[in-house]
Chain A
Amino acid sequence: MNPDPLAVLAQTVLLIVLAPLLSGLIKNWKAKLQNRRGARIWQPYLDFVKYLRKDMVISEHASWIFRVAPWVIFLTALVAGLMVPLVTAQAPLGLFGGALAVVGVLALGRFFMALGGLDPATTFGGMGSSREMTIAALAEPAMMLAIFTVATMAGSTNLGQIVLAEQEPGWKFLDAPHALAFAAMFIVLLAETGRIPVDNPSTHLELTMIHEAMALEYSGRSLAFVEWGAAIKQLVLMALLANLFFPLGLAPGVTLASFGAGLAFLAAKLLVLAGAVVLVEFTNSKLRLFRVPDLLSAAFMLGTLALVSTFLFR
C-alpha cells in the first residue's frame, strides 16, 4: 500500500486539469437549458490564466492571512483529492487518510477561506464567511451520517477499502441504505459546492452571495487559486459521490489500459452527475438563507434513515 509516485503525479495532474473543465461544462449546459449559447466549456482555463497574468490588488487592511488563504485553499483541495479514488480503486494516498480526513482537510480550506473573507474589513466578506460556516456546520453531520452508512457496511473508513468492498460480488448499488445515503450526500454536494438552491454561483455583488462574497476582495493570482481550488473541491466531491456509490469500472491496478478504461468510466459518471446538478439548478430557484437549514435537515434525516435501514433491510 505504499504510495506510488507515478500514481500520485497522474492524479494530481488529473485533478488540476479536469476541475476547470467540469465547471465549464456545468456552466455551458446550464446556459443551453436557459436558451443561451453560453461560454465554451474551456472558458475556465482561459479565465484562470487571465487571473494569473493580472496584477494583484490587496486591501490595505488585510494581513498575511489574506495572502496565505488562497494557497491553503488550493493545496487542501489537492491533498483531499489525492485521498479519493478517482480512476483507480485505491486512491494514491489512501493510506494517509480516509473519508474523515477528506472532510477534515476540506474543512481546513474552508476555515482559511472564511478568515480570508473577514480579513479585508469589508461587510460582504463577513457576511459570506458567516453564511459559509453556518451552512457547512449544518451540512457536516448529514455528510458524516452518509459516510458512516457506507463505512459501517464496508467496515472501513478508508475510501479504497469501501470501494473494494462494494466491488465484491453480491453487492447491490440500489439497496435502501445506499440510495438514502446517496440522496443525503447529493444535497450536501449542492451545499458544499455552492450550487442552487443553496448558493447561486453566477451572482456577483448581490446580497445573497456566499462564496462570491468571501472571494470579492481577491484579485489576480490569489483569485485564480481561490477559484481553481473551489473547482478542484467540486471535482473531488463529485468524484467521491460517483465512485463511492457506483464503483463501476474503477481500475484495480495501475496499468495503462485499465487506467484508460477507468478514465472513461470516471468521465461518464461525472457527466451524469453534472447533468443531475444542472437539472437541479435549472428547475429550482435559490432558497432564502433561512430555508436552507430545512433542506439540510432533510439531508440529515435521509442520512439517519440510511443508517437505520442498514439493519432493517438485510
Chain B
Amino acid sequence: MNFSPEVFLSLSLWGYALGAGGGLLLLRRERLGNLLCFGVAAFSALNGLLAALLFLAGGAGAATPGFELFPAPLPYVHISVRLDPLSAFFLLLVSLLTLAIGIYSLGYARGYFGRKNVGVLGALFNALVLATTLLVTADNIWLFLIGWELMALAAYCLVSFEHEKAETRQAGVLFFIMSHIDAVCIIIGFLLLYQAAGDYGFGSLHAIGARMTPGRRDSAFLLFLVGFGIKAGVVPLHIWLPAAHPVAPSNVSAFMSGVVIKTGIYGLARVTFDFLGAPPLWWGVTVLTVGTISAVLGVLYALMEHDLKRLLAYHSIENIGIILMGLGAALIFLHTGHPLLATLALVAGLYHTINHAVFKGLLFLGAGAVLHATHTRNMEEMGGLISRMPQTALFFLIGAVAISALPPLNGFVSEWLTYQALLQGFGTTDSLMRLIFPLSGAMLALTSALAAACFVKAFGITFLAQPRSERAAQAHEAAPTMLVGMGLLAGACIALGLFPVLFVRLLDPLTQQLTGQQVSGQLSAAHGLVLTSLTERSGTVSTLGLSLLGLCLLPIPFALSWVFGRGTRVRVGPTWDCGQRTLTPRMEYTATGFSKSIRMVFKALFRPHREVQREYDFSPYFAKTLRFDSHVEEVFEQQIYRPVRVMILRASRRVRALQAGSIHAYLLYIFGTLVLLLLLLAT
C-alpha cells in the first residue's frame, strides 16, 4: 500500500465521519460513546497530522491532484479534496489541536455523564472537525461553502450545548446570525470570482484577480475581508466571539478559539494571496490597520474581564489582530515589490497562527480543567489552585508565558518575526505612509505588555494565593487524559519556541506557493541555532541559546548562596498582616482590583461605571452592608450594534403590516406580483 498524504487525509476524513455517525448510534451508551467519539477523533487527527507533515516535509510545493471522496449525488458538486501547501499547513493546525483536544475530552466529557448526552457532544464535535478539515482541504467553491456552513451549524449546536442557561441560548443565536452574515459575504465574493473564472475549481481560480475589473476585485476583497473577518473575530465584527466561546463546553471553546477562527485566516490568505493576487496598496494598509486595532482593543477588553473564559476569548481577538498585522504587512510588501520581506511577514503571520492555536487551545483546556474542578468561570471565586491542581497550573503557566510573548516560548518567536518585518518595512518606501510600520510595532509592544499584565492577573488570581471560595478550596486535579491533552500542547509551545528554525523549514513550500520565495535558509544561521531576520546583520535571536545560557548561569546564584548562606534555614510563617489577627482571602487583591489602574488609564475607552451603596449606623467608615457595582461600557454593542438592531426591528415592524393574516390580501399580493413579472417579461 502506498503511504501518501492523500491516504492519510482520506483516512482522517472518514474517521471523523465515523465518529460523528457512531456518536449518534451510541446515544444511550455514554461511556462507550465517549470513548468511541473522542478516541476516533484523536486517531483521525493523528492521520491528518501525518498527512500534513508528509506533504510539507516532502517539500513538493505543487498541489496534489484533487480526488473525490465519493461521487456526489448532485450535479456540479464534487466532494473532492486536495492538498496544497496552504491547505496542508492548516490541516496540520487542525489535526494537532484535534489530537490534543480529543485526548483531553476523554476525561473532560465524563463531567457530563448523567447530566447531558455525551454521544451528541461527541458526534457534533466530530462533525465540527470534519467540516473544518473539509473546508481547509476543499478543492472547489462548493465544498468550501458546504464545509463552511456545516462548520457554522455544528459550532452553533455545540455553543448551545448547555442550552438550559439563557446566556448560552442568547450567545448561540448571536453566533448563528453573525455566521450567516459572513456566509452571505463569502458567497457573494465567490460568485464574483466564479463570474471571472467560469469554473468552481480552486485550481482555475488561481490569480483570477488579474482578469477582473478593479472595481470587482476591490469589492470581492472587501466582501471577503468582512466575511472572513467575522469568522476570525476582527474588531468591530467580533462581538459574537466573547459571547459564544465562553459558554461552549471547554473542549469546544478550545477548538473554536484555536481552530475555527483560524479558518477566517485561511480564507483570507487563500483568497488574497492565491486568488486575487497583486494587491493594491490599500488592501495591505487596511488589513494592517484592522489588525493593529483588533490587537490593542482585544487585549484591553480582555483585561477588564474576570470571567476566565471570556478573558481568553478576548485574547483570541488580540492574537487574530497580531496575525493580521503579519498578513497586512505581507500584502503591502507585495505591492511595493519586496517579495522577500513579504515572505518574512507572511512567515511571521502564519507562525503566529499556529502558535496562537497551540497556546490558546492549551489555555482553554486549562480553563476547562479549572471550570471542571471549581464549577465557576468567575476568577474572583478562585485562587490557590496551584497547590490543588499543580500540573494544570504548570501547563496554564506555560500557556500564559507563551501568549504574553515572553522568551523562550513560541509567542515570542512569532512576535519577534513580526517586529522584524515591520521594522524592515520602514525602509521600503519614502512616503509618510511608512510611519505605519513602526507605529504598528509600538502598538504591538503595547499589546504584548498588556497581555503580560493580563496573564499575570489570569494566572495569579486563579492559581496563586488563598482560595477565595469554598469551591476553590475543594478543587481537585484534572483527570489524567485531560493532563495528557494539555501536556501535548504545552510541549508544542516549548518545541515551537525553542526550535523555530526547524519549523520555518516546513513553511517553505507554503511561501513558495504564495509569494514565490523560500526563506528558511536565510532565516537560520549558526548551524540552525539562531533565527535571523533574513540577514544575520539585521537581527538575530536564539531562544534555545538564551535558555541554555540561563541554565549555564544557574550555578552563580547557587554559588553565592552556598558561599555566604551556608546553614541558613527556611521557615514557613504567616504572611505579614499589618497586625490584624488573620489574613483572610477577602483581603487579597481581586481581578477587578488588579486591572483597576489600567481601567483608569484608558477610561476614555472603557467609560467605567461605578456605584457604591453603603448602609451605616453612625459613620460611613463603619458600613453595615456595602454594595459595589462596577462595569465598563461595551462600546461596540452600544454604539454600533444596538442602533442597527433597533433599525432592523423597526423595519420589520413596518413590514409586519403587510402580513396582516387576511387571505384576501395575500391573494392580492400574489396577483400583483404575477402581473408585475409578466410586464417585466413583456418588456
A contact set with B: CB distance below 8 Å:
1-2, 12, 16, 49, 52-65, 71, 74-76, 78-79, 82, 93-98, 100-101, 103-105, 107-108, 110-111, 114-115, 118-123, 125-127, 129-131, 133-134, 136-145, 148-149, 151-152, 155-158, 161, 216-217, 220-221, 224-225, 289-290, 293, 300, 303-304, 307-308, 311
Complex CA–CA separation, A32 to B427 (angstroms): 48
Complex CA–CA separation, A54 to B426 (angstroms): 53
Q: CB distance B426 to A134 under 8 Å? A: no
The reply to whether the CB of B668 lies closer than 8 angstroms to some CB of chain A is: no
Q: CB distance A145 to B442 under 8 Å? A: yes
B441, B575, B595: the one within 8 Å of A217 (CB): B575
Complex CA–CA separation, A76 to B569 (angstroms): 26
Chain B residues whose C-beta falls within 8 Å of the C-beta of A12 in the assembled complex? 553, 556
Complex CA–CA separation, A101 to B549 (angstroms): 13
Complex CA–CA separation, A156 to B530 (angstroms): 15
The reply to whether the CB of B108 lies closer than 8 angstroms to some CB of chain A is: no
* Per-position binary interface string of chain B over residues 387-403, scored 1 when its CB falls under 8 Å from any chain A CB and 0 otherwise: 10000010001000100
Complex CA–CA separation, A157 to B526 (angstroms): 18
Quote the shortest CB–CB distance from A157 to chain B (angstroms).
4
Chain A residues whose C-beta falls within 8 Å of the C-beta of B575 in the assembled complex? 59-62, 120-122, 217
Q: CB distance A141 to B442 under 8 Å? A: yes
Q: CB distance A130 to B545 under 8 Å? A: no
Chain A residues whose C-beta falls within 8 Å of the C-beta of B635 in the assembled complex? none
Complex CA–CA separation, A108 to B449 (angstroms): 11
B contact set with A: CB distance below 8 Å:
383-384, 386-387, 393, 397, 401, 404-407, 412, 416, 419-420, 423, 426-427, 430, 435, 438-439, 441-446, 448-450, 452-453, 455-457, 459-461, 463-466, 526, 530, 533, 536-542, 545-546, 549-550, 553-554, 556-557, 560-561, 564-565, 568-577, 583, 585, 587-589, 593-598, 600-601
Interface pairs (28), CB distance under 8 Å: A2-B526, A52-B560, A55-B570, A61-B575, A95-B542, A100-B420, A107-B452, A108-B406, A115-B456, A122-B575, A122-B583, A125-B589, A126-B593, A130-B596, A133-B453, A134-B598, A136-B452, A137-B452, A141-B443, A144-B442, A144-B444, A145-B438, A156-B537, A157-B423, A157-B533, A158-B540, A221-B561, A224-B561
Q: CB distance B464 to A82 under 8 Å? A: no
B384, B574, B598: the one within 8 Å of A137 (CB): B598
Quote the shortest CB–CB distance from A87 to chain B (angstroms).
19
Complex CA–CA separation, A14 to B59 (angstroms): 48
Quote the shortest CB–CB distance from B160 to chain A (angstroms).
36
User: Which B residue's beta carbon lies closest to that of A143?
Assistant: B445
Q: CB distance B550 to A75 under 8 Å? A: yes
Q: CB distance B442 to A97 under 8 Å? A: no
User: Which B residue's beta carbon lies closest to that of A156?
Assistant: B538
Q: CB distance B460 to A75 under 8 Å? A: no
Q: CB distance B406 to A136 under 8 Å? A: no
Of the listed residues A64, A94, A100, A142, the one surrounded by the most CB atoms of chain B closer than 10 A to its CB is A100
Q: CB distance A60 to B573 under 8 Å? A: yes
B545, B589, B596: the one within 8 Å of A96 (CB): B545
Quote the shortest CB–CB distance from A107 to chain B (angstroms).
6
Q: CB distance B593 to A130 under 8 Å? A: yes
Chain B residues whose C-beta falls within 8 Å of the C-beta of A79 in the assembled complex? 546, 549-550, 553
Chain A residues whose C-beta falls within 8 Å of the C-beta of B594 in the assembled complex? 126, 129-130
User: Which B residue's beta carbon lies closest to that of A97?
Assistant: B541
> How many residue pairs between the two chains, A and B, have CB atoms under 8 Å in the bound complex?
279
User: Which A residue's beta carbon lies closest to that of B400?
Assistant: A111
User: Which A residue's beta carbon lies closest to that of B409?
Assistant: A108
A58, A59, A100, A161: the one within 8 Å of B419 (CB): A100
Chain B residues whose C-beta falls within 8 Å of the C-beta of A149 in the assembled complex? 438
Q: CB distance B412 to A104 under 8 Å? A: yes
Complex CA–CA separation, A134 to B599 (angstroms): 10
Q: CB distance B587 to A118 under 8 Å? A: no
13 further interface pairs, Cβ-Cβ under 8 Å (given A55-B571, A63-B464, A307-B435): A52-B565, A60-B572, A61-B465, A61-B466, A97-B542, A101-B416, A107-B449, A111-B455, A118-B589, A122-B587, A152-B427, A155-B537, A224-B561
Complex CA–CA separation, A111 to B456 (angstroms): 7
Complex CA–CA separation, A129 to B593 (angstroms): 11
Q: CB distance A63 to B406 under 8 Å? A: no
Once A12-B556, A155-B538, A225-B557 are accepted as A-B contacts, the answer to whether A63 and B387 lie under 8 Å apart by CB is: yes
B423, B445, B540, B573: the one within 8 Å of A58 (CB): B573
Complex CA–CA separation, A290 to B602 (angstroms): 11
Complex CA–CA separation, A242 to B414 (angstroms): 30
User: Which B residue's beta carbon lies closest to that of A311?
Assistant: B430
Complex CA–CA separation, A5 to B455 (angstroms): 36
Q: CB distance B427 to A121 under 8 Å? A: no
The 6 A-B pairs at the shortest CB distance, nearest first, are namely: A126-B589, A133-B453, A118-B460, A121-B465, A52-B564, A144-B445
Chain B residues whose C-beta falls within 8 Å of the C-beta of A140 in the assembled complex? 445-446, 448-449
Q: CB distance B452 to A133 under 8 Å? A: yes
Q: CB distance B538 to A93 under 8 Å? A: no
Chain B residues whose C-beta falls within 8 Å of the C-beta of A122 in the assembled complex? 575-577, 583, 587-588
A2, A115, A216: the one within 8 Å of B459 (CB): A115
Q: CB distance B384 to A61 under 8 Å? A: yes
Quote the shortest CB–CB distance from B46 to chain A (angstroms).
34
A49, A75, A152, A307: the one within 8 Å of B564 (CB): A49
Quote the shortest CB–CB distance from A146 to chain B (angstroms).
10
Once A115-B459, A140-B446 are accepted as A-B contacts, the answer to whether A100 and B540 lie under 8 Å apart by CB is: no
Q: CB distance A110 to B561 under 8 Å? A: no
Chain A residues whose C-beta falls within 8 Å of the C-beta of B426 in the assembled complex? 148, 152
User: Which A residue's beta carbon lies closest to that of B431?
Assistant: A311
Once A123-B589, A141-B445, A148-B442 are accepted as A-B contacts, the answer to whether A101 and B546 lie under 8 Å apart by CB is: yes
Of the listed residues A49, A152, A303, the one surrounded by the most CB atoms of chain B closer than 10 A to its CB is A152
Chain B residues whose C-beta falls within 8 Å of the C-beta of A60 in the assembled complex? 572-575
Q: CB distance B445 to A95 under 8 Å? A: no
Complex CA–CA separation, A144 to B418 (angstroms): 13
Chain A residues whose C-beta falls within 8 Å of the C-beta of B537 in the assembled complex? 155-156, 158, 161
Quote the shortest CB–CB distance from B315 to chain A (angstroms).
15
Chain B residues whose C-beta falls within 8 Å of the C-beta of A127 in the assembled complex? 589
Q: CB distance B407 to A101 under 8 Å? A: yes
Q: CB distance B449 to A152 under 8 Å? A: no
Complex CA–CA separation, A97 to B438 (angstroms): 20
Chain A residues whose C-beta falls within 8 Å of the C-beta of B570 in the assembled complex? 55-58, 220
Quote the shortest CB–CB distance from A216 to chain B (angstroms).
7
B420, B427, B538, B571: the one within 8 Å of A57 (CB): B571
Chain A residues whose C-beta falls within 8 Å of the C-beta of B439 in the assembled complex? 304, 307
Once A56-B571, A60-B572 are accepted as A-B contacts, the answer to whether A97 and B546 lie under 8 Å apart by CB is: yes
Chain A residues whose C-beta falls within 8 Å of the C-beta of B397 in the assembled complex? 65
Chain A residues whose C-beta falls within 8 Å of the C-beta of B427 in the assembled complex? 152, 155
Chain A residues whose C-beta falls within 8 Å of the C-beta of B556 in the assembled complex? 12, 16, 78
Once A96-B540, A97-B542, A111-B452 are accepted as A-B contacts, the answer to whether A58 and B572 lie under 8 Å apart by CB is: yes
Chain B residues whose C-beta falls within 8 Å of the C-beta of A136 in the assembled complex? 449, 452-453
Once A119-B464, A148-B442, A156-B539 are accepted as A-B contacts, the answer to whether A54 and B593 lie under 8 Å apart by CB is: no
Complex CA–CA separation, A220 to B517 (angstroms): 56
Q: CB distance B568 to A54 under 8 Å? A: yes
Q: CB distance B601 to A138 under 8 Å? A: yes
Chain B residues whose C-beta falls within 8 Å of the C-beta of A1 in the assembled complex? 526, 536
Quote the shortest CB–CB distance from B575 to chain A (angstroms).
4
Q: CB distance B386 to A65 under 8 Å? A: yes
Complex CA–CA separation, A53 to B568 (angstroms): 7
Q: CB distance A96 to B423 under 8 Å? A: no
Complex CA–CA separation, A166 to B622 (angstroms): 64
Once A52-B561, A123-B587, A145-B438 are accepted as A-B contacts, the answer to whether A76 and B550 lie under 8 Å apart by CB is: yes
Q: CB distance A130 to B538 under 8 Å? A: no
Quote the shortest CB–CB distance from A91 to chain B (angstroms).
12
Of the listed residues A122, A142, A303, the one surrounded by the most CB atoms of chain B closer than 10 A to its CB is A122
Complex CA–CA separation, A142 to B446 (angstroms): 9
Quote the shortest CB–CB distance from A10 to chain B (angstroms).
14
